[in-house]
């Protein structure tokens, strides 16, 4: 019987196979590696996931406003946000996305976000790994919500 992979395992595999959304200017293999991504995305208790969700709800849009110009896949990140909040999304998937989004909203992480030009590169690596691993769970409704929210944010 084959072993069942978790969303955490899928995230690491996605990172190892290449980061499809990251261009050469934002690659970060020297700043963040598989082990660190694995540590960030590792499954945690339901209580810790709940705390992450609170933090993400409080800080996501403020961080997104600052980061949108530095993240080449902002719509995917916003869709991941809506997927993570959707009670129809499987718990493991929500946990993986919440871990990545919680890392994204932290102002001080491996590369502090306020460092111009490179501050969000580690966030991009973590987000790419998580989103790639669970992309089948990000539905059209999440993408629609993301487009609408980003449109409002940019005044469109």
pTM of the model: 0.72
Token pair belonging to 9? 């395992």
CA atoms of 12 and 128, how far apart (whole Å):
10
Q: Residue 136 burial (CB < 10 Å; 0-12/13-18/19+)? A: exposed
The sign of the torsion formed by the CA atoms of 143, 146, 150, 155 equals positive
Residue 18 predicted with pLDDT over 50: no
Average pLDDT over residues 29-46: 74
Residue 17 in contact with residue 125, Cβ under 8 Å?
A: no
| pLDDT value at residue 121 | 67
Interval 42-76: pLDDT, tens? 888 889 888 989 999 999 999 898 887 777 889 99
Interval 88-137: pLDDT, tens? 999 999 999 999 999 888 865 444 444 444 455 677 888 999 999 999 99
CA atoms of 70 and 120, how far apart (whole Å):
7
CB atoms within 10 A of CB 46: 9
Those residues with Cβ within 8 angstroms of residue 107's Cβ, 6 or more apart along the chain or in another chain: 113, 114
- Give, to the nearest 10 degrees, the angle between helix 140-154 and helix 46-67: 40
Rounded alpha-carbon distances, angstroms, from residue 74 to 3, 30, 91, 104, 149: 33, 23, 23, 12, 11
Residue 140: pLDDT band with limits 50, 70, 90: very high
């Amino acid at each position: 019987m084959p072993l069942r992979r978790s969303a955490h395992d899928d995230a690491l595999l996605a990172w190892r196979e290449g980061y499809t959304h990251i261009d050469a200017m934002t690659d970060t293999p020297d700043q963040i590696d598989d082990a660190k991504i694995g540590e960030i995305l590792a499954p945690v208790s339901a209580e810790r996931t709940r705390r992450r969700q609170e933090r993400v709800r409080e800080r996501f849009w403020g961080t997104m406003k600052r980061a949108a110009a530095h993240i080449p896949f902002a719509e995917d990140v916003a869709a991941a946000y809506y997927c993570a909040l959707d009670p129809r999304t499987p718990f493991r998937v929500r946990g993986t996305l919440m871990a990545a989004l919680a890392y994204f909203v932290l102002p001080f992480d491996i590369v502090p976000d306020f460092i111009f030009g490179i501050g969000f590169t580690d966030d991009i690596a973590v987000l790419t790994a998580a989103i790639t691993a669970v992309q089948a769970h990000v539905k059209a409704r999440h993408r629609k919500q993301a487009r609408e929210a980003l449109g409002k944010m940019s005044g469109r």
